[in-house]
Amino acid sequence: LEKQNIGFIGLGAMGLPMALNLLKHGYHVHMKAHANRTPVETLKAAGAIEHPSLSEVVRHSEVLIGVLPEDRQMQEVWLSSEVLDHLQRVRFVIEMTSGTPAMMKKIAQVYIDKGVGVLDAPVSGGTVGAEAGTLTVMAGGSEQVLEEAQPILSAMAKNVYRVGDVGAGKAIKAINQMLAGIHMIAAAEAAALSEKLGIGTDVLKQVIGNSSGASWMLLNKMDSLENRAFDPGFKLKLMSKDVRIALYEGKDLHLPLAALAGQLYQDGEKEYGELDFAAIGTTILP
């Protein structure tokens, strides 16, 4: 069976390794440079096809994938005439940005009206999972679109869950990010206290890793906290955006920890926004 042509939009920390995995699985990847040419050169060397415009990318694709920073770029790309006027060949869109449910639904309506399927499919697993092809996909959309998209998702992800209709993917991702954001700060506080009390990182991970205080962040971010090593990864400004989405969705609820986490990430954004979100530890560690 001939593999599909996939137009890939958003070639950042996540998009680049995800697109490389599609190439490895035999898909034809089409793309256009945005500001940074580096990922385009890497993809070209791996067999992807570069086009001079987004409309050319769209015209050559049966499937479009987007992994963009947030709502603003989702709107800019998906609702542009460069994309919308050239969809003749496109069967469906897989939208993998961590954006808001509302923006996702607004975009999906436009595409569904044009007869193009939409899968709302944000991911978890970080750049490590993106490179290894072991991401978790939280998919919102019809069972039929998910079934069609499944082989493509399998090239990038280990776990694919259908969580509801379009919008539900972005919603569960926001809940995950609220937890991840809080857990990261909690891990930084644990690192600060263990440094003061003379408890080594390895012991901490081993013992608390098997105790009730364990978290993914404690197990995976303690080393970067200890070494004050904050290369991204997942940029702090993106985590700040994610907690903001959760707080917006929960604005009528009492979410004291999320509110405080949102404030801390927002305060840290100016100085540490381009670093890994573990850099929130800089504001906590001695």
> Does 98 interact with ligand NDP (rule: CB under 6 A)?
yes
Site string for ligand NDP, 71-90 (x = CB under 6 A): --x--xx-------------
DSSP 210: T
What three-state secondary structure class fits 160?
strand
Q: Which of residues 122-181 bind ligand NDP (CB under 6 A)?
A: 123-124, 126-127
Question: Over the range 82-114, which residues count as b (16 or more CB within 10 Å of their CB) and which as e?
Answer: ebeebbeebbbbbbbbbbbbebbbbbbeebbee
> Which one of 173, 235, 237, 241 is the catalytic residue?
173
> Does 11 interact with ligand NDP (rule: CB under 6 A)?
yes
Say if strands 117-120 and 123-124 run parallel, antiparallel, or are unpaired: unpaired
Nearer to ligand NDP, 16 or 208 (CB): 16
Cβ(68)–Cβ(54) below 8 Å = no
Site string for ligand NDP, 195-234 (x = CB under 6 A): --------------------------------------xx
Task: Give 210's contacts (C-beta < 8 A, 6+ positions apart).
Answer: none
Ordered DSSP codes for 24-45: HTT-EEEE---S--HHHHHHHH
Cβ(246)–Cβ(175) below 8 Å = yes
Site string for ligand NDP, 16-55 (x = CB under 6 A): ------------------xxx-------------------
**Out of 69, 84, 106, 155, which residue is the one contacting ligand NDP (CB under 6 A)?**
69
Interface with ligand NDP (CB under 6 A): 9-15, 34-36, 67-70, 73, 76-77, 97-98, 123-124, 126-127, 233-234, 238, 242
Tell me which residues are annotated as active site.
Answer: 173
